[in-house]
Amino acid sequence: MNAIISATAHYAPKKVLTNHDLEKIMDTTDEWIKSRTGIHQRHIIGENEATSDICTHIGRDLLEKANLKPDDIDIIIVSTVTPDMLAPSTAAIVQNNLGANRAWGFDLSAACSGFLYGLETGAKFVESGQYKRVMVIGVDAMSTILDYEDRNTSVLFGDGGGGVILESTESDFGILDSILRMDGSGGKYLQMPAGGSRMPATIETVENKMHYLKQDGRTVFKFAVKGMADVSAKMLEKHQLTGDDIALFIPHQANKRIIDAAANRCNISKDKVLINIQKYGNTTAGTIAIGLNEAVEQGRLKEGDYLLLAAFGAGWTWGSMLIKWGNPS
């Protein structure tokens, strides 16, 4: 039994923050951001919006596209590092919003690798034969944990997400393989220090801006290029494929220069690499899921195509996934 993607969807909040908007609130330029990252703009949530609202848009769209009723969903997995709150899970809020009364579910925390970890987890439920349909959403509202006085970090991220319905198939289409990795020794280079059990919220933690994302950009850059390229190359080698055999490569969108370097290492030509970082920035667990739905909407995937996904993020966490694209029917 394989797990197949039977529907895709994405949602980006309406509000757009351009590089020119950022020029007005911090010492940066449109030119610097574009040339160093490839980002032109990002979407951010409005005052009364939260991560679960993005998920609910995605979930409704998925149900409609897959022609399913809410009760058809068995499990909801929401991969995110910006849940609405620590408890209950965002998955539970989404389950209620969708009226998916039969579903159980949980949030999964793997930062920028969250969607890949979520896909792998969801696929195993479906492949076991015990569950028929799993909704996997990769989403983040990064604007809620950014310090807009820190130009090193805040210009990179945006809000949004995407999702899929996973169903079982006896065909040889679907998720073929994944290589997932984690190295906790990298945790200090990209983290939000306060707000958990190590450093609960106090007046001091707020005053010291410890509830914002902190990163050592250069170190993250170095590990991201190596991590994404290594697992992607390994995946190709394992399946005796070359970059030419891949119809589409959807890498995590953290920096256009990281994407170019990883694609180069795997000899995947530019026309086969999905890049949408210019529109959304880095939406953490959202990037690959958004890219996947855009690829489907743009007709960039046809039956039998090999699709390669790759991610790298805080943890460190990273991985790649090989999918043979096809329809479940």
Positions marked active-site: 112, 252, 282
309 binds ligand UT7 (CB under 6 A): no
Q: Does 319 bind ligand UT7 (CB under 6 A)?
A: no
- Contact in structure between 292 and 164 (CB atoms under 8 Å): yes
- Among 115-123, 165-173, 213-221, 268-276, the segment contacting ligand UT7 (CB under 6 A): 213-221
Instruction: Record the tokens describing residue 291, joined without a space.
Output: 């890219």
- Residue 27 exposure: Cα atoms within 13 Å on the Cβ side: 2
Residue 279 CB neighbour total at 10 angstroms: 18
Q: Does 82 bind ligand UT7 (CB under 6 A)?
A: no
Tell whether residue 139 is a contact of ligand UT7 (CB under 6 A): no
For 107, the token pair is 């949030």
Q: Which stretch binds ligand UT7 (CB under 6 A): 58-66, 151-159, 260-268, 273-281?
A: 151-159
Contact flag: residue 18 with ligand UT7 (CB under 6 A) = no
Angle between helices 114-127 and 287-297 (to 10 degrees): 70
Give the chain's length. Answer: 329
- Binding pattern to ligand UT7, positions 33-72, x when CB under 6 A? x--xx-----------------------------------
170 and 56 Cβ atoms separated by less than 8 Å:
no
Q: Which of 112, 136, 225, 301 binds ligand UT7 (CB under 6 A)?
A: 112
Nearest CB to ligand UT7, comparing residues 134 and 290: 290
* Cβ atoms of residues 324 and 304 within 8 Å: yes
Out of 34, 124, 151, 214, the only residue in the binding site for ligand UT7 (CB under 6 A) is: 151
Interface positions, 247-276, toward ligand UT7 (CB under 6 A): 254-255
Q: Judged by CB, which is closer to ligand UT7: 190, or 322?
A: 190
Report phi then psi at 323, rounded to 5.
-125, 135
List alpha helices for the chain, DSSP H: 19-25, 30-37, 51-65, 90-98, 114-127, 151-154, 203-207, 217-238, 256-265, 277-280, 287-297
| Cβ 100 to ligand UT7 shortest distance, Å | 30
CB of 182 to ligand UT7, least distance (A): 15
Q: Which of 19, 82, 282, 283 binds ligand UT7 (CB under 6 A)?
A: 282
Residue count at the site for ligand UT7 (CB under 6 A)?
Answer: 21
Interface residue with ligand UT7 among 20, 188, 218, 270 (CB under 6 A) is 218
39 to 35, 235, 257: CA distances (angstroms): 8, 28, 11
Contacts with 21 (C-beta within 8 Å, 6 or more apart), sequence order: none
Residues that bind ligand UT7 (CB under 6 A): 28, 32-33, 36-37, 112, 151-152, 155-156, 190, 215, 217-218, 220-221, 224, 254-255, 282, 313
